[in-house]
Amino acid sequence: MKRGKSKTVGYILAFFFGGLGAHLFYYGKYLRGILYLAFSWTGIPILLGWIDMFFIHKWHQQYLESQENSSKFLQEKPLQSITPRVEKTRPEKVESEKSVLSYRENEMMFYREEDIILPEYAYLKTPSYIKEEIQQIKKSFKHKDLNRPVIEISFHTHETYFMEDSIKYANQMGVETEFVPLQVYWTTFRDLDEKQKKWYFYWRHQTLKGNYLDTDLSYVILFAYELINYTFNQNAAFNVSMLVRLQQAYKERIPNLDRYLSEWIRDMLIELNEIELARKWGLGAEPYYQTNFYQIFKDHEKDISQIPIKEWQKVIRGYSETNFFEMNKQKVYITFKEALKLFQKINIEEGLDLEKAWFEQKKKTATYYLFKSAVIGRNVGSRVIEYTEYVPTEYFYNEITALFRVSENVTRLCNGVKRQIKANEELLPPNFKKRLLEEMKSNKVYEIDEYVGIKSRFSHVVTDKIEEKGSQIPPKPNETLETKTANNDSNKSWITELDGKQVEVLKQRHQAFISEFSSDEQDEDKSTEREIKAMSNVEKTKLDIPERPTITLSDDDVDVEGFLSSLTEEEIEFISTFSSKRRRIDVVNDEIREKGIPAAVFINEINTKADEYLDDVLIEQIGDDYVINEELVCVLEEIERSKAI
């Protein structure tokens, strides 16, 4: 009976005879042993032999594994009857070698390929050059399996070691064991200890049976490496299908995994020249790990409101989140979903094709470097691909942005906020905003006041029809009501209303002021006027407002004309430079410094005036930019209009 090697003998040989390479010959590393022997006269191999003592344990484990594989092979070989020795011809010898090389292929698989292969990929075939590469690697097992001592010179890398190990463990079944964590980049079998290997084989076995256990990213990546290298299975239909199943099973549980698997599935399909299938996995999308919006649109073509909000956010342009949006984000998103439903419904009624309006075809050529960020031990290189890409049009971006802005405006109205942000409603169907508000009301998405109307930031007003309620304010002694009204309210297009009790209270206070401050009638009048204005907010006349060229703000405490008149020429000129509503902070600061004014002081002065007249700041700081407040874009438009005149 042949005795095995001893680890103790290995250590002794390395310590005493390491300079001659004795320990290397002992473990079958003949080429390295010859080099040690050839340079033994320098004394360097002695030092190297002592260093090799740290690797004796690893080499001994590899020896034991090879012995175990050899014994398994001998046990599985059928017993042959003893026959007289017969001289064999050369062809018979070749046949014998082929049978030795292919014994692994003929082993019974511990899983069913047909249960894993998806119908969409069932017709895929493995290219012959990939099969040949795998066969070349399998030849290295011939000498190991037959236990023939040979000296061979070979060049190994991290990737080729992985290929050999993967082929060796391809038919390794798993037994139930406990989960062992694994966090390794570019995972290979040699990164795993024995417990991690046992868990991997058990997890892989369960996965092949359709039971996708919770595990670490590194284990899934290792199996993916086996599939894209064709070392676990040489069937392209199986490998692609298995990768797709892994992606679907773990994309929610392991978010980072989807980026890698989607890219590798795409690369496998490109390698197989399946360009149309590769498009579904990101071919033509830039960057590669982002999904093509055209494909998202096609997946939800019947109801675009089902497209996730996170995908819509990527295509909304030129929008800065307002304070209202931050406080009512979910309501705005709900309204936006309703807007998408209504928009699609109107387009269907009018016979319009959203796909043609939103996407255009472009012929593209791209060089794809396959299987980036993967351990790949076979020759893959790159591919130059010509394909048709469906690219969103500018009209698509502008229309979606307009839809989102209108959705926020409708949400504001539903919540009793009159102030509106700028929205290009001309891109949308006629009266879309009004129809959306009615849709929200009929579907009871929000509790909407029946008096809520469609008002923009500017509302048209008229002065020739005024409805009055309540009693009139008592005139001051020796002064008629008409004179008072003419002097104080000549420029107003509305008259305040007060009820009888309020007038009585006001009258008493007025008389008190007269008796206490009779020496200063002018100040007294101003004080009374302020009280009237404050009390007038309690109840106002609801008017039917027809169209009129004169424009005034619908917000009671906002005065654009007053704000513009309070600005200096320099401040107006500065605001007009925000034609795109956004400017970089460093550029703005440099411009203001050239005028000898601190930038912070200059902008703060403008915002102070805006807060006084417009009840909000005009210029906000968002990230690296100064941005015009979305709710006050009308100020910028008014300045541009006045400059044009």
Give tens-digit pLDDT for 609-637. 887 777 777 888 777 888 887 777 777 77
Q: Which amino acid is at 141?
A: F
* DSSP single-letter state for residue 386: E
Q: What pLDDT is attached to residue 219? A: 95
Please say if the pLDDT value at position 145 is more than 80: no
Rounded-to-integer distance, Cα 562 and Cα 228, Å: 69
Q: What pLDDT is attached to residue 240? A: 96
With cut-offs at 50, 70 and 90, classify the pLDDT of residue 446. low
Q: Which amino acid is at 75?
A: Q
Please say if the pLDDT value at position 9 is more than 90: no
Mean pLDDT of the chain: 75
Which residues are bridge partners to 364 per DSSP? Answer: 387
Q: How large is the average pLDDT for residues 544-562?
A: 48
Q: Decide: 599 and 592 in contact? Cβ < 8 Å.
A: yes
Q: Decide: 242 and 264 in contact? Cβ < 8 Å.
A: no
With cut-offs at 50, 70 and 90, classify the pLDDT of residue 84. very low
* DSSP single-letter state for residue 121: G
Neighbouring CB atoms inside 10 A of 47's CB total 12
Structure tokens at 103: 């014994």
Rounded-to-integer distance, Cα 441 and Cα 438, Å: 5
* DSSP single-letter state for residue 3: P
Rounded-to-integer distance, Cα 547 and Cα 300, Å: 41
pLDDT in tens, 206-236: 999 999 999 999 999 999 999 999 999 999 9
Q: How large is the average pLDDT for residues 504-528?
A: 47
Rounded-to-integer distance, Cα 79 and Cα 391, Å: 66
Q: Decide: 552 and 457 in contact? Cβ < 8 Å.
A: no
Question: Rg of the Cα trace of the chain?
Answer: 41
Q: Which of 79-88, 159-168, 446-455 has the highest mean pLDDT?
A: 159-168
Query: Who contacts 437 (Cβ-Cβ below 8 Å, separation ≥6)?
Result: 410, 413, 414, 448, 452, 454
Greater pLDDT, 582 or 188:
188
Report which secondary-structure segment, H or E, holds 628: strand 625-628
Name the pairing type of β-strands 551-553 and 359-369: unpaired
pLDDT in tens, 308-339: 998 898 899 878 788 888 888 888 999 999 99
Q: What pLDDT is attached to residue 452? A: 45
Structure tokens at 173: 């079944």
Rounded-to-integer distance, Cα 272 and Cα 385, Å: 12
Residue 397 burial (10 A CB sphere; 0-12, 13-18, 19+): middle
Q: What pLDDT is attached to residue 372? A: 83
> Cα-flanking dihedrals φ and ψ of residue 581, to 5°?
70, 10
Percent of the chain's residues with pLDDT above 90? 26
The CA-based angle 540-541-543, given to 5 degrees, is 135
Half-sphere exposure of 99 (CA within 13 A, CB side): 8
* DSSP single-letter state for residue 305: G
Tell me the residue ranges of DSSP E strands in 322-381: 359-369
3-state SS assignment for residue 561? helix
Q: Which amino acid is at 313?
A: Q
- Residue 357's alpha-carbon distances to 346, 397, 500, in angstroms, are 14, 11, 61
Helix axes 255-271, 236-250, angle to 10 degrees: 160
Ramachandran bin of 373, using left for φ above 0, alpha for ψ from -120 to 50, beta for the remaining angles = left
Percent of the chain's residues with pLDDT above 70? 71
**Domain-by-domain residue ranges, the chain?**
7-71, 113-143+155-281, 293-443, 560-643
Rounded-to-integer distance, Cα 449 and Cα 120, Å: 53
Q: Which amino acid is at 625?
A: D
Greater pLDDT, 364 or 156:
364
Rounded-to-integer distance, Cα 590 and Cα 138, Å: 68
Q: What pLDDT is attached to residue 389? A: 79
Q: What pLDDT is attached to residue 17? A: 86
Structure tokens at 166: 């993967």
Q: What pLDDT is attached to residue 141? A: 59
Greater pLDDT, 464 or 156:
156
With cut-offs at 50, 70 and 90, classify the pLDDT of residue 259. confident
Residues in the chain: 645
Rounded-to-integer distance, Cα 40 and Cα 327, Å: 79
Rounded-to-integer distance, Cα 155 and Cα 134, Å: 16
With cut-offs at 50, 70 and 90, classify the pLDDT of residue 445. low
3-state SS assignment for residue 274? coil
Rounded-to-integer distance, Cα 527 and Cα 521, Å: 10
Rounded-to-integer distance, Cα 391 and Cα 297, Å: 12
Residue with tokens 């300045």: 639
Greater pLDDT, 281 or 150:
281
Q: How large is the average pLDDT for residues 73-95?
A: 39
Residue with tokens 């297009």: 493
Please say if the pLDDT value at position 124 is more than 90: yes
- For domain 560-643, the CATH architecture is Orthogonal Bundle (1.10)
pTM of the predicted model as reported, rounded to 2 decimal places: 0.44
